[in-house]
Homo-oligomer: A and B are copies of this chain.
Protein backbone atom coordinates (compact mmCIF):
# COMPACT_ATOMS: atom_id res chain seq x y z
CA UNK A 1 0.00 0.00 0.00
CA UNK A 2 1.46 3.27 -1.09
CA UNK A 3 1.47 6.57 0.79
CA UNK A 4 -1.79 8.54 0.81
CA UNK A 5 -2.41 12.24 1.49
CA UNK A 6 -3.96 11.19 4.81
CA UNK A 7 -0.60 9.68 5.85
CA UNK A 8 1.10 13.05 5.35
CA UNK A 9 -1.47 14.72 7.58
CA UNK A 10 -1.01 12.04 10.27
CA UNK A 11 2.77 12.42 10.01
CA UNK A 12 2.44 16.17 10.53
CA UNK A 13 0.36 15.67 13.68
CA UNK A 14 2.92 13.14 14.95
CA UNK A 15 6.02 15.28 14.38
CA UNK A 16 4.83 18.87 14.68
CA UNK A 17 6.00 19.33 18.28
CA UNK A 18 9.50 18.05 17.45
CA UNK A 19 10.25 19.91 14.20
CA UNK A 20 10.61 23.59 13.34
CA UNK A 21 7.81 25.06 11.25
CA UNK A 22 10.27 26.67 8.86
CA UNK A 23 9.70 30.15 7.39
CA UNK A 24 8.80 30.92 3.78
CA UNK A 25 11.01 33.70 2.37
CA UNK A 26 10.72 35.78 -0.79
CA UNK A 27 13.10 37.92 -2.86
CA UNK A 28 12.16 40.55 -5.42
CA UNK A 29 15.58 40.24 -7.07
CA UNK A 30 15.15 36.51 -7.61
CA UNK A 31 11.55 36.96 -8.81
CA UNK A 32 12.91 39.24 -11.54
CA UNK A 33 15.60 36.75 -12.52
CA UNK A 34 13.15 33.83 -12.67
CA UNK A 35 10.25 35.81 -14.18
CA UNK A 36 7.96 34.22 -11.58
CA UNK A 37 6.81 34.83 -8.02
CA UNK A 38 8.95 32.60 -5.83
CA UNK A 39 8.24 31.28 -2.33
CA UNK A 40 11.22 29.61 -0.69
CA UNK A 41 10.43 27.00 1.97
CA UNK A 42 13.52 27.20 4.18
CA UNK A 43 14.26 23.65 5.27
CA UNK A 44 17.89 24.77 5.64
CA UNK A 45 16.58 26.19 8.94
CA UNK A 46 15.07 22.81 9.93
CA UNK A 47 16.55 20.99 12.93
CA UNK A 48 19.69 19.10 11.94
CA UNK A 49 19.86 21.50 8.98
CA UNK A 50 17.62 19.71 6.46
CA UNK A 51 14.09 18.44 5.64
CA UNK A 52 15.39 14.95 6.44
CA UNK A 53 14.55 15.51 10.10
CA UNK A 54 10.85 15.40 9.21
CA UNK A 55 10.90 11.90 7.75
CA UNK A 56 13.33 10.59 10.34
CA UNK A 57 11.18 11.88 13.19
CA UNK A 58 8.05 10.39 11.67
CA UNK A 59 9.78 7.01 11.29
CA UNK A 60 11.34 6.94 14.76
CA UNK A 61 8.10 7.94 16.49
CA UNK A 62 6.18 5.31 14.48
CA UNK A 63 8.19 2.50 16.14
CA UNK A 64 6.78 0.43 19.02
CA UNK A 65 8.57 0.83 22.35
CA UNK A 66 10.13 -2.58 21.91
CA UNK A 67 11.43 -1.75 18.44
CA UNK A 68 12.75 1.60 19.65
CA UNK A 69 14.80 -0.06 22.39
CA UNK A 70 16.91 -1.96 19.84
CA UNK A 71 17.57 1.30 18.01
CA UNK A 72 17.61 2.39 14.38
CA UNK A 73 20.10 2.00 11.55
CA UNK A 74 20.47 3.61 8.14
CA UNK A 75 22.93 4.51 5.40
CA UNK A 76 23.32 8.10 4.22
CA UNK A 77 25.91 10.47 2.78
CA UNK A 78 24.99 12.86 5.51
CA UNK A 79 21.71 14.67 6.08
CA UNK A 80 19.54 11.61 6.73
CA UNK A 81 22.21 10.32 9.11
CA UNK A 82 22.24 13.53 11.14
CA UNK A 83 18.46 13.71 11.09
CA UNK A 84 18.03 10.11 12.24
CA UNK A 85 20.61 10.53 14.99
CA UNK A 86 18.78 13.58 16.35
CA UNK A 87 15.34 11.97 16.01
CA UNK A 88 16.58 8.87 17.86
CA UNK A 89 18.08 11.09 20.55
CA UNK A 90 14.69 12.78 21.01
CA UNK A 91 13.08 9.35 21.47
CA UNK A 92 15.97 8.15 23.65
CA UNK A 93 17.01 5.20 21.47
CA UNK A 94 20.38 4.28 19.90
CA UNK A 95 21.15 5.19 16.26
CA UNK A 96 23.69 3.44 14.01
CA UNK A 97 24.70 5.47 10.95
CA UNK A 98 26.43 3.83 7.99
CA UNK A 99 28.20 6.67 6.14
CA UNK A 100 30.45 6.62 3.04
CA UNK A 101 34.09 7.53 3.60
CA UNK A 102 33.67 10.65 1.41
CA UNK A 103 30.83 12.13 3.49
CA UNK A 104 31.62 15.75 4.42
CA UNK A 105 33.28 16.49 7.74
CA UNK A 106 30.52 18.85 8.89
CA UNK A 107 27.88 16.14 8.36
CA UNK A 108 29.89 13.57 10.31
CA UNK A 109 30.45 16.02 13.15
CA UNK A 110 26.71 16.71 13.29
CA UNK A 111 25.94 12.99 13.65
CA UNK A 112 28.46 12.61 16.46
CA UNK A 113 27.11 15.75 18.14
CA UNK A 114 23.65 14.16 18.23
CA UNK A 115 25.05 11.04 19.88
CA UNK A 116 24.86 8.82 16.78
CA UNK A 117 27.33 6.00 16.17
CA UNK A 118 29.07 6.19 12.75
CA UNK A 119 30.09 3.04 10.88
CA UNK A 120 32.06 3.82 7.69
CA UNK A 121 31.39 2.15 4.33
CA UNK A 122 32.51 2.49 0.69
CA UNK A 123 31.01 4.97 -1.77
CA UNK A 124 28.83 2.55 -3.76
CA UNK A 125 25.23 1.72 -2.93
CA UNK A 126 26.06 -1.99 -2.65
CA UNK A 127 28.78 -1.28 -0.09
CA UNK A 128 26.36 0.83 1.95
CA UNK A 129 23.72 -1.89 1.97
CA UNK A 130 26.13 -4.68 2.95
CA UNK A 131 27.34 -2.79 5.98
CA UNK A 132 23.76 -1.99 7.03
CA UNK A 133 22.87 -5.71 6.94
CA UNK A 134 25.82 -6.43 9.20
CA UNK A 135 24.66 -3.85 11.75
CA UNK A 136 21.15 -5.31 11.74
CA UNK A 137 22.56 -8.80 12.31
CA UNK A 138 24.59 -7.47 15.27
CA UNK A 139 22.02 -5.21 16.97
CA UNK A 140 18.52 -6.04 15.70
CA UNK A 141 18.11 -2.31 15.01
CA UNK A 142 15.18 -1.24 12.78
CA UNK A 143 16.24 -0.17 9.30
CA UNK A 144 15.07 3.33 8.45
CA UNK A 145 15.85 3.57 4.76
CA UNK A 146 16.70 7.15 3.75
CA UNK A 147 13.94 7.36 1.15
CA UNK A 148 12.34 4.08 0.04
CA UNK A 149 10.10 3.89 3.10
CA UNK A 150 6.45 4.96 3.51
CA UNK A 151 7.09 6.61 6.89
CA UNK A 152 9.93 8.66 5.41
CA UNK A 153 7.93 9.68 2.33
CA UNK A 154 4.97 10.82 4.44
CA UNK A 155 7.26 12.75 6.80
CA UNK A 156 9.09 14.57 4.00
CA UNK A 157 5.74 15.58 2.51
CA UNK A 158 4.97 17.69 5.59
CA UNK A 159 7.24 20.53 4.37
CA UNK A 160 5.02 21.01 1.34
CA UNK A 161 1.88 20.53 3.45
CA UNK A 162 2.95 23.61 5.45
CA UNK A 163 4.00 25.54 2.33
CA UNK A 164 0.81 24.99 0.31
CA UNK A 165 -1.39 25.64 3.36
CA UNK A 166 0.46 28.89 4.11
CA UNK A 167 0.86 30.41 0.61
CA UNK A 168 -2.40 30.88 -1.26
CA UNK A 169 -2.83 29.87 -4.88
CA UNK A 170 0.53 28.29 -5.60
CA UNK A 171 0.73 27.16 -9.21
CA UNK A 172 3.74 24.86 -8.86
CA UNK A 173 6.20 23.35 -6.40
CA UNK A 174 9.84 22.48 -7.21
CA UNK A 175 11.80 20.03 -5.07
CA UNK A 176 15.20 18.36 -5.42
CA UNK A 177 15.17 14.68 -6.34
CA UNK A 178 17.72 12.09 -5.30
CA UNK A 179 16.28 8.88 -3.86
CA UNK A 180 12.88 10.49 -4.24
CA UNK A 181 11.63 10.58 -0.64
CA UNK A 182 11.23 14.35 -0.69
CA UNK A 183 9.85 14.58 -4.22
CA UNK A 184 7.29 11.79 -3.75
CA UNK A 185 6.13 13.24 -0.42
CA UNK A 186 6.00 16.70 -2.00
CA UNK A 187 3.80 15.46 -4.83
CA UNK A 188 1.36 13.66 -2.52
CA UNK A 189 1.07 16.65 -0.20
CA UNK A 190 0.77 19.26 -2.95
CA UNK A 191 -1.80 17.41 -5.06
CA UNK A 192 -3.69 16.31 -1.94
CA UNK A 193 -4.23 19.96 -1.04
CA UNK A 194 -4.59 21.39 -4.56
CA UNK A 195 -5.49 19.04 -7.37
CA UNK A 196 -4.20 21.08 -10.31
CA UNK A 197 -0.88 22.20 -8.82
CA UNK A 198 2.21 21.30 -10.88
CA UNK A 199 5.07 19.42 -9.22
CA UNK A 200 8.56 19.26 -10.71
CA UNK A 201 11.64 17.41 -9.54
CA UNK A 202 15.03 19.10 -9.97
CA UNK A 203 18.10 16.97 -10.52
CA UNK A 204 21.77 17.43 -11.47
CA UNK A 205 22.50 16.46 -15.10
CA UNK A 206 25.42 14.49 -13.69
CA UNK A 207 23.07 12.30 -11.64
CA UNK A 208 20.00 12.13 -13.88
CA UNK A 209 18.57 8.74 -12.93
CA UNK A 210 15.12 10.17 -12.13
CA UNK A 211 14.98 11.93 -15.50
CA UNK A 212 16.05 8.71 -17.27
CA UNK A 213 13.54 6.67 -15.28
CA UNK A 214 10.70 9.04 -16.17
CA UNK A 215 11.71 9.05 -19.85
CA UNK A 216 11.92 5.28 -20.13
CA UNK A 217 9.11 4.46 -17.70
CA UNK A 218 11.47 2.00 -16.02
CA UNK A 219 13.48 2.42 -12.84
CA UNK A 220 17.08 3.31 -13.74
CA UNK A 221 19.98 3.81 -11.39
CA UNK A 222 23.44 5.37 -11.55
CA UNK A 223 26.22 4.12 -9.33
CA UNK A 224 28.38 6.78 -7.69
CA UNK A 225 27.61 9.80 -9.91
CA UNK A 226 29.85 12.88 -9.53
CA UNK A 227 28.13 16.14 -8.66
CA UNK A 228 28.74 19.03 -6.28
CA UNK A 229 25.24 18.29 -4.95
CA UNK A 230 26.48 15.55 -2.64
CA UNK A 231 23.00 14.93 -1.22
CA UNK A 232 21.63 14.06 -4.68
CA UNK A 233 23.83 11.09 -5.55
CA UNK A 234 21.29 8.37 -4.72
CA UNK A 235 18.94 6.80 -7.27
CA UNK A 236 15.16 6.39 -6.96
CA UNK A 237 13.74 3.37 -5.15
CA UNK A 238 10.76 1.31 -6.31
CA UNK A 239 8.36 2.93 -3.83
CA UNK A 240 9.37 6.50 -4.58
CA UNK A 241 9.46 5.89 -8.35
CA UNK A 242 5.92 4.52 -8.35
CA UNK A 243 4.63 7.72 -6.72
CA UNK A 244 6.78 10.04 -8.84
CA UNK A 245 5.68 8.34 -12.07
CA UNK A 246 2.05 8.87 -11.10
CA UNK A 247 2.08 12.37 -9.60
CA UNK A 248 5.12 14.35 -10.78
CA UNK A 249 4.77 16.52 -13.88
CA UNK A 250 8.40 16.51 -14.97
CA UNK A 251 12.06 16.54 -14.03
CA UNK A 252 14.22 19.64 -14.63
CA UNK A 253 17.93 18.95 -15.13
CA UNK A 254 20.56 21.45 -13.97
CA UNK A 255 24.27 21.80 -14.67
CA UNK A 256 26.97 22.03 -12.01
CA UNK A 257 27.50 25.66 -12.99
CA UNK A 258 23.81 26.47 -12.55
CA UNK A 259 23.87 24.89 -9.08
CA UNK A 260 26.80 27.08 -8.02
CA UNK A 261 25.22 30.22 -9.48
CA UNK A 262 21.94 29.49 -7.68
CA UNK A 263 23.79 28.93 -4.39
CA UNK A 264 25.59 32.21 -4.88
CA UNK A 265 22.28 34.05 -5.34
CA UNK A 266 20.85 32.46 -2.21
CA UNK A 267 23.90 33.32 -0.11
CA UNK A 268 24.67 36.80 -1.49
CA UNK A 269 21.18 38.10 -2.19
CA UNK A 270 18.96 36.29 0.33
CA UNK A 271 21.74 36.03 2.97
CA UNK A 272 20.89 32.41 3.72
CA UNK A 273 23.19 29.41 3.62
CA UNK A 274 21.83 26.65 1.37
CA UNK A 275 23.85 23.59 0.39
CA UNK A 276 24.38 22.66 -3.29
CA UNK A 277 21.67 19.95 -3.16
CA UNK A 278 19.24 22.47 -1.72
CA UNK A 279 19.86 24.97 -4.50
CA UNK A 280 18.72 22.89 -7.51
CA UNK A 281 15.16 24.27 -7.43
CA UNK A 282 16.39 27.82 -8.00
CA UNK A 283 19.07 26.50 -10.38
CA UNK A 284 16.32 25.10 -12.63
CA UNK A 285 14.79 28.58 -12.94
CA UNK A 286 18.06 30.13 -14.14
CA UNK A 287 17.32 28.55 -17.50
CA UNK A 288 14.12 29.85 -19.13
CA UNK A 289 10.95 27.98 -18.02
CA UNK A 290 8.12 29.57 -20.02
CA UNK A 291 5.54 27.26 -18.42
CA UNK A 292 6.21 29.03 -15.10
CA UNK A 293 6.34 32.66 -16.32
CA UNK A 294 4.33 34.89 -14.01
CA UNK A 295 3.29 31.89 -11.87
CA UNK A 296 3.43 31.50 -8.10
CA UNK A 297 6.12 28.90 -7.55
CA UNK A 298 7.10 27.20 -4.29
CA UNK A 299 10.72 26.07 -4.04
CA UNK A 300 11.93 23.67 -1.37
CA UNK A 301 15.36 24.76 -0.13
CA UNK A 302 16.07 21.33 1.23
CA UNK A 303 19.11 21.86 3.46
CA UNK A 304 21.95 24.09 4.61
CA UNK A 305 24.71 21.79 5.77
CA UNK A 306 27.97 22.92 4.19
CA UNK A 307 31.64 22.63 4.99
CA UNK A 308 32.73 26.27 4.71
CA UNK A 309 36.33 25.17 4.23
CA UNK A 310 35.19 23.35 1.11
CA UNK A 311 32.95 25.99 -0.48
CA UNK A 312 32.78 26.44 -4.28
CA UNK A 313 33.21 30.22 -4.04
The verdict on A23 contacting chain B, using a C-beta distance below 8 Å, is yes
* Docked complex: A229-267 residues within 8 A CB-CB of B: 264, 267
Minimum CB–CB distance for A261 against chain B, Å: 11
With beta carbons under 8 angstroms apart, the residue of B49, B264, B309, B311 that contacts A271 is B49
Q: Contacts A23-B23, A273-B273; is A308 near B106 (CB within 8 Å)?
A: no
Minimum CB–CB distance for A114 against chain B, Å: 11
A309 CB contacts on chain B under 8 angstroms:
313
Q: How long is the Cα–Cα vector from A44 to B309 in the complex, in angstroms?
A: 22
With beta carbons under 8 angstroms apart, the residue of B49, B106, B268 that contacts A273 is B268
Q: Is the CB of A306 within 8 A of B272?
A: no
A298 CB contacts on chain B under 8 angstroms:
none
Q: Contacts A23-B23, A273-B273; is A268 near B313 (CB within 8 Å)?
A: no
A274 CB contacts on chain B under 8 angstroms:
271
Q: Is the CB of A268 within 8 A of B311?
A: no
Q: Is the CB of B268 within 8 A of A271?
A: no
Q: Give the nearest-CB partner of A46 in chain B.
A: B271
Q: Give the nearest-CB partner of A306 in chain B.
A: B268
Q: Is the CB of A304 within 8 A of B271?
A: yes
Minimum CB–CB distance for A211 against chain B, Å: 29
The verdict on A45 contacting chain B, using a C-beta distance below 8 Å, is yes
Minimum CB–CB distance for A31 against chain B, Å: 15
Q: Give the nearest-CB partner of A42 in chain B.
A: B271
Q: Give the nearest-CB partner of A275 in chain B.
A: B271
Q: Is the CB of A308 within 8 A of B273?
A: no
A106 CB contacts on chain B under 8 angstroms:
268
Q: Is the CB of B308 within 8 A of A44?
A: no
With beta carbons under 8 angstroms apart, the residue of B44, B45, B264, B308 that contacts A313 is B308
Q: How long is the Cα–Cα vector from A106 to B313 in the complex, in angstroms?
A: 14
Give residues in A with beta carbon < 8 Å to B. Answer: 23, 44-45, 49, 106, 264, 267-268, 271-274, 304, 306, 308-309, 311, 313
23 residue pairs of the A-B complex, CB under 8 angstroms, read A23-B23, A44-B271, A45-B271, A49-B271, A106-B268, A264-B308, A267-B273, A267-B308, A268-B273, A268-B306, A268-B308, A271-B272, A271-B273, A271-B274, A271-B304, A272-B272, A272-B273, A273-B273, A308-B311, A308-B313, A309-B313, A311-B311, A311-B313
